[in-house]
Structure 1
Amino acid sequence: MKSSKTKMESLPFEIYMKIFCLLDYQHLAVAQQVSRRWKFVASDDALWSNLFKKRWGGDHAAFYAPMGSKSWKHVYEVQDRCDRIGVGLKIIREGSDYYLVHQGEIQRYLGSRKNQEKVTAHSCHSEFNFNGESSLAEERSSRGILDKILFFIGDLEVASAEAKRSRVI
């Protein structure tokens, strides 16, 4: 007797597509985490293209159609991020992680507040070069200060966005 997992995994691709076409983008993203097979099917360009067209329309889909190695999933995520945070240069916080975002594209992972605490603790140890200067320790210290400033700006932007949302309601 086959287990339910094996029965589900043996479904034809077309059946998966019919089912996954009924999902919204959040549930489709969750479905990608179930198994390798589901990730493969839920990443299908046709699914994400349809989601994009449903949300933003065919004209936008024609304008934003992916080029090169980009997928419809990537285009959808970028457009969604633009809608949520705007197209300017932003520092966003997702959980304890911070990202630098420009025009909806994540430009750089700035780090995590959890990791920052570990780095700051390690940067207290002095490291000297052959001239007796503590260049590495100074570099880590200044990097730590810059990261704290970026994290602070990210926290301000999140608080500002939350304040705006609460005023609207």
Structure 2
Amino acid sequence: MFGKDDLVDNLSRDLDRARGRRDALASEATTLAAQIAEIEARLSEEKKRRERERVLSEVEAIKTRIKQAAGAFAPVVDGLSRAVEQAAAVVPEARELNSFLVSVATEIDSVLDPLLRELDQRADAVRTGHAALDLPSSAIEAPPVELPKDTNERLLRFPAWLSRDKETDRKDTAESPRSTAA
């Protein structure tokens, strides 16, 4: 009988050790699961932070390009307006182009500040985490706008509605009516 009790004692000890290891492993598994969840949360936050930084950087790049383009546009309009004024001494109809230039410049001026403010508001919403903008990564890739180096070499091509031959175009369209029969 002595041998049977040793076997039972040995199996009981083995069972207790196995249960102890299981409990230790379960505890470690729980600890590891908590650590994994914490690391995943930190990783997610870091990804969100980097995405916010990317979007904010792109919004700033867009604003910079808009300001550069507007800065390049004003001198061109001014120079063209002065040239048109000189041309108006010879061709009075040129004043139409000048008034058109002034209206375009005025319209651009009137919408530029609200556009920049709206970009700032959207950037603030991204900064605070209240909004996520999905901008294509190509938003940064556009080259900055530069003033033309030599404006004398540029040929200006105006749309047909600014052409002096407006009446000729109208006569041509009136003489060749479109056929509606199929």
Please classify the TM superposition score into its range, dividing by the shorter chain length. Answer: under 0.3
Tell me: higher relative CO, structure 1 or 2? Use CA pairs within 8 A at least 6 residues apart: 2
- Larger Rg, first or second structure (1 or 2): 2
Whichever structure has more helix as a proportion of its residues is 2
Whichever structure has more strand as a proportion of its residues is 1
Give the alignment's TM-score, normalised by structure 1.
0.27
